[in-house]
Structure 1
Amino acid sequence: MVQIDFSTPRLQSFNGIFLIFFTDIAKRVKQNIYILAIPFLQKNLFNNYGTYIYIGLALLVILQFVFSYLSYKKFKFSIQEDAFHLDSGVIKLSHIEIPFERIQNINLQQNVLQQLLNVVGFDIETAGEGTAEIKIKALDKEFANALKAKLIEEKNKVQGAELNLDEDKTSEITEQTPSKEDTLLFQLDFKTLIKVGISSNLFKGVGLLLAFLAYLYNFIMDFLTTIFDLNLEEDFKNRIPETLSFISLVIIVVFIAGFLITVLTTVLKYYNLKIFKNQQNYEVVYGLFKRENKVIKKTKTQIFEIRTNPVKELFKIRSVFVSQASSKQLTEKQKIGLVGLSKENLGILFHSLFHLELSDLNYELSRSQPRLFFRYFYKNLAIVIGLSAAAYFVYFNWVSIVGLIIILLGLSWIAFLRVKKSSIGFNSDLISIRKGSIDTKFKIIEIHKLQSVRLSRNIFQQYNGHADLNLETASGTVTIEYLKVKEAVELLNYFIYKVESTDKGWI
C-alpha cells in the first residue's frame, strides 16, 4: 500500500467541487422556495420579464459556482504532530485543531450524489459533541480509509503515552487499529428488511403523506385562486359531505399509501445493513442511496433501547437504537439504528456491550400510577377542543362530531396503553425503563453512567403524593412519570449512592 504524507495540507477530491456546488444550490432553493415560486404565481410576469428572470437566475448560478469553487480551494486539512488541522472559509476564514485524544468516532457515509461522484463523506466526532465537529464532504474512498486508519493510529499513540503503558498493553492498543479485517457479525437480508418495513411505525408514513398533501393542497389553492380567481373551498364544502364513501375512500388510500411509504423509506434507509465486530467496538453500515458508516463504542454508549410491537413479535425480530455520549439531547436521527435483529443477535450485541446476559436479567419494578392517565387525557382533550374549534369555523355537522369522538376515544386508548406500560426496573448494574403504547420501548442504562438524578413535582403531584423521576445521561434525559413519591425518593437515593460509590467512568 502506498504511504501517504498526511502532514501536507490537502484538498478534497476534485469531484468535491461539483458536490459542494449541487449541495449549495439545493440549500439555496430550499431556503428561498417561496421567493422562487413567485414568478409562477404571477400571470404575466414571464411574458413581461422572462428574459431578465432567466439572466438573473443564470448569474446567481454562476456566482454560486464561483463561491463553491473558492470554498473547495480554501478547504484544506492535514495531520500534524499535535492534532488534526483544518482550514476553511471563503469570506470568514477559520482554523480548527482537533487533538487526537478528543477524537471519539470517525464515520464514513455516502448519499446518492456522493455515490454518483464516487466520493465519500468523512465525519469526525469529538468527546461530548452531539454531531460531527469535522465534516469533509468529498474524499476518495481509499484515501478516506487511509486517513481514518492514520487518525486511529495517532489516537492510540497518544493514549499509550498518557497511560505510560507497558509493552503488553501497548501491543493491545496497536491491535485496535484496523490492520485486521473486521468480523462480520450480522447482515440484514432483504426478506427480513421487508419485515422491518412492514412492522415499522405506520403513522410516520401517514404523517409524511398528510404533510405533503397539505402542502400540495395549499399550493394548488393559492395558484388557482391567484390565476383564475376561483373559490374551490366553498365548492368542496358542498360536495364532499354528500357521500361518506368518498371520505372512506380517501382514508383508505391515505393509509395504504402511508404504509407503502413507510416500507419504502425503511428499505431505502436500512438496505444491506451490516454489523462488524472490531475489538470492543461495532461498525454499522447501511443505506441504499445514502450509505451510513457509524461506530458503536462500549465506553461511549449511554442508552441501549430495544423496540418491539405485535408485528415484530410475530416476525420474531427486534430493533435496537443506541444513544452515544453527546453534549445535548439526541434526536431520533442521531441515534444508531440496528433493525431486524433476532433474539440471538440481540443477546450477542447486549453481552458484548454490557458483559451481561440479557435473558438472565431480573429487575425490581416500580410502575407509574393510574393518575398519569389524566395528564395524557387533558393533553388529548386540548387537541380535540382545538380540532373542534377548527371544524366549527370550517364545516360543522354530525360527521365531524362523530369523527371528533372517534379521535378522542382513540387518543384515550393510546393514553391507557402508555400508562399501563410505563415502569422502571433496576438491579445492581442496570436501569430498565419501559415505555410505549402500541410499540414498546425498553431503555437500558448502566447506573454508573448517570450524570444526575432529580425529582420534579407539579402542584397537583405535591397534593396527591406523586413525583416524576428524571435521569440525566450524556445523551439526554429520560423521565419516568407519576411514581409514588416514596418510591421515587428511594430510587433517587439508591441511584445517587451507586453513582458515588463506583469507580467506573461514564465515558
Structure 2
Amino acid sequence: MDGPAVDTDAPERRLHPWSWLFVLLQQLKQFIFPLIALLVFGARKSDDGDPWLAFAPVIGIAVLVVLAILQYFTYRYVIGRDGLTVREGLLHRSRREIPFSRIHNVVVHQSLLHRVFGVAEVRLESAGGQKPEAQMRVLGLRDALALEDLVRHQARGPAATQAAAPDEPSRARGATLLALSTAEVIRLGLISNRGMIVVAAGFGAAWQILPERMIEQFFRQGAKQAFGYAEQLHLGWLAGAAGVAALVVLALALVRALSVVLALLQFHGFRLSEDARRLMVERGLLARLRTSVARRRIQAWTLHEGVLHRWFGRRSLRIDTAVAEKAGQQDQRALKDLAPIATPEACDALVNHLLPQAAWPRADWRPVAASARWRLLLPTLTWLLPATALAAWHLGPWAWCALAWLPASAHAAHRQASRMGWSLDGHLIAVRSGWWSRYWRFAEIDKLQALRLSRSPLDHACGTASLWLDTAGASGVAAPLALRFVPEAEARDAFERLSLALAQRRLRW
C-alpha cells in the first residue's frame, strides 16, 4: 500500500526541546510505585549494611531521564502533501506513514504545566486501532495548532507545502454553535453526579489500599464520638434524628459543591464550533483541551434529560464517533459532549443544523406493545416478593409493608411504557425511553453496522420482538439503540427495511 507522498525538500522536524521533560514525567507516573518500593526497600537494606541499595531509586530515575532524552533525539516527523511520516527509535527503528484521510480525530491537550512552557500534546486518532496513530509529546503551541489546522482542512498539494513551514498558523475559529457561560457550567455541576463518583472511587481505593481494620476502626471511633457527644447534650430522639438529617444534607451539599468544582475544571470556557466539515470543542479551566472530529464520523446521537435537567429546563447531547477506544476504557479527551448542558430548544437546533434530514423533534413516534406495561414491572417482582417473604420470616409481619413499593413500581412501569417509542424513515432510526430519566437515541441508517432480531419466550407469548442495532464507537455506558417490545410484524418489517438498506450500501462499496 502506498504511503502518503512526502516532499523531498520538506525538512525533518523534531519535538519541542522540552519534550523530554514531559516524557520523563509520564514515565515517572507509570513507575512511581516501583520507585517508592525501591526507596523503602533500599532504606531498610542500607540500615542493614547495604548502603548501595539506597541509590537504586536514583539509578532508576537516571535511566528514565536517559530514555526520555533519547526519545527526543530519535523522534522525527515530516509533513507531506497527503500525510505525515513519523520516524522513531534507536535500536528498534520504526517508520509510520499516516495519510491525512485516515486521521479522524485531532486532540490538542494542554495541562497547566504545558501552558507554563507554551507547549501542547497532539494526538492523531483513527477509527481502527486501540491507540493513536501518532502521539506527539510535546510540540510548541504554534506548531501544534498549525498541524491541527492542516489535518482539519485535509490539506492537499500546495496547501501542505505551505503548512510545512508556517510562520503563523491559520486560526480561523469557525462558526460558534454553542458556548457555555460560567453560570451554565455551575448548573451542569449541580445537575451532574461527578462528585459522588469521585467520592465512591476514593472509598473504593481506600478500601483496597488501607488495612480493613483501620477503616473499621475509623468508622467505629467516629460513631462513638458522635453518639457520645449527643448523649452529653441530652438530646431526644427527635432532635437526634434532626441532627442526622442535617449531617446527611451537609454531606450532599458538599458532594454537589465538589461536582461544581469538577465541572468548572472540565468544562469552563466550553465552545463548540464548526469549520468546514469538522466540529471542534475547546474546554477546560486549568488544563485546556481542543479536540475535533469530522462530521461524517459521527455514528449515533443521544439526548438525555434527567429529573434535575427538567428542574433546570436543560438537556445534554452526546455523540458516538468512529474513533476507537482502549479496551475497557473511555478516553476522557475524546469528543463526546456536543452540549454538556443546554436548553431543549438549543439541543434541537444543534441536531437540525448538523443532521438536517433528522427533522427533529420527531412527530411520527410509534408506540410499543401494550404488554410492555406489566413486563417492565417483572424485574421488580422477581426480587421484591422473595426478599419481602424472607424478611417477614426473620423479622415478623411488619416486613410485608415493603410491598407498598409495588404500586409505585407499577406506576413507574406504566409511565415508562407510555413514553417508549420508535421512529423509522429512509434516513434515520430513532428510539426513546425512560420516564424518571429520559433519553432519545438515534442514528443515520447508513451508519448502522449490524442488526439482530431476537424473541424471548415472553416475546413468543406476547407476539412481540426486539430489534438490536449496532453502530461503530458505541460504548457500554450509553443507552442501547434497540426497538424493544415491538409487535412482531412491525419488528420484522423494520428488520427487512434496514437489511435492504445495508445490502444496498455494501453493493455501493
- Whether these two folds match at TM > 0.5 is yes
Deviation at 1:190, TM superposition (A): 0.5
Counting matched residue pairs gives 464
Q: Tell me if structure 1 keeps the 8 A contact 2:366–2:423.
A: yes
The C-alpha deviation readout for 1:193-216, integer Å capped at 9, x for no partner, is 11111122x2x4223212312433
Q: Which moved more, 1:306-315 or 1:149-158?
A: 149-158
Q: Which residue of 1 aligns with 2:477?
A: none
1:288/1:108 CA distance change after superposition, 3 Å: same
Distance (Å, rounded) in 2 between the aligned partners of 1:267 and 1:134:
30
Q: Which residue of 1 aligns with 2:366?
A: 365
Distance (Å, rounded) in 2 between the aligned partners of 1:470 and 1:126:
26
Distance (Å, rounded) in 1 between the aligned partners of 2:200 and 2:473:
31
Q: Tell me if structure 2 keeps the 8 A contact 1:101–1:155.
A: no
Q: Which residue of 1 aligns with 2:191?
A: 199
TM-score by length of 1: 0.75
Distance (Å, rounded) in 1 between the aligned partners of 2:220 and 2:324:
53
The C-alpha deviation readout for 1:100-120, integer Å capped at 9, x for no partner, is 332333232212332233211
Q: Tell me if structure 1 keeps the 8 A contact 2:466–2:484.
A: yes
Q: Which residue of 2 aligns with 1:474?
A: 472
Indicate the RMSD between aligned Cα atoms, in angstroms: 4.7
Deviation at 1:367, TM superposition (A): 2.8
Q: Which residue of 2 aligns with 1:11?
A: 14
The C-alpha deviation readout for 1:81-101, integer Å capped at 9, x for no partner, is 563111234564332111233
Q: Which residue of 2 aligns with 1:258?
A: 255
Q: Tell me if structure 1 keeps the 8 A contact 2:377–2:410.
A: no
Q: Which residue of 1 aligns with 2:96?
A: 96
Distance (Å, rounded) in 2 between the aligned partners of 1:274 and 1:5:
39
Distance (Å, rounded) in 1 between the aligned partners of 2:181 and 2:67:
43
Q: Which residue of 2 aligns with 1:339?
A: 340
Distance (Å, rounded) in 1 between the aligned partners of 2:508 and 2:127:
14
Distance (Å, rounded) in 2 between the aligned partners of 1:14 and 1:414:
64
Amino acid at match of 2:198: L
Counterpart check, 1:324 vs 2:331 = no
Q: Which residue of 2 aligns with 1:232?
A: 217
1:332/1:84 CA distance change after superposition, 3 Å: closer
The C-alpha deviation readout for 1:63-87, integer Å capped at 9, x for no partner, is 1111222222222211235631112
Counterpart check, 1:441 vs 2:439 = yes
Deviation at 1:268, TM superposition (A): 1.0
SS of residue matched to 2:104: strand
- Within a 5 Å distance, the mapping from 1:94-493 to structure 2 comes to 94-128=94-128, 132-152=132-152, 155-157=155-157, 180-200=172-192, 202=193, 204-217=194-207, 219-221=209-211, 232=217, 251-327=248-324, 331=330, 333=332, 334-337=334-337, 338-356=339-357, 358=359, 361-367=362-368, 369-370=372-373, 372-373=375-376, 376-377=379-380, 416=413, 421-436=419-434, 438-462=436-460, 464-476=462-474, 478-493=481-496
1:89/1:372 CA distance change after superposition, 3 Å: farther
Q: Which residue of 1 aligns with 2:162?
A: none
The gaps in structure 2 that reach 5 residues or longer are 1-6, 160-168, 231-239, 475-479
The gaps in structure 1 that reach 5 residues or longer are 160-176, 226-230, 390-396
Amino acid at match of 1:221: P
1:411/1:286 CA distance change after superposition, 3 Å: farther
Distance (Å, rounded) in 2 between the aligned partners of 1:307 and 1:72:
45
Q: Tell me if structure 2 keeps the 8 A contact 1:285–1:294.
A: yes
Q: Which residue of 2 aligns with 1:167?
A: none
SS of residue matched to 2:211: helix
Distance (Å, rounded) in 2 between the aligned partners of 1:376 and 1:85:
55
Amino acid at match of 2:354: L
Amino acid at match of 2:59: L
Amino acid at match of 1:345: A
Amino acid at match of 1:496: S
1:207/1:298 CA distance change after superposition, 3 Å: closer
Q: Tell me if structure 1 keeps the 8 A contact 2:85–2:95.
A: yes
Amino acid at match of 1:186: L
The C-alpha deviation readout for 1:34-55, integer Å capped at 9, x for no partner, is 9579769x9x789658966642
% identity of equivalent residues: 16
1:199/1:247 CA distance change after superposition, 3 Å: same
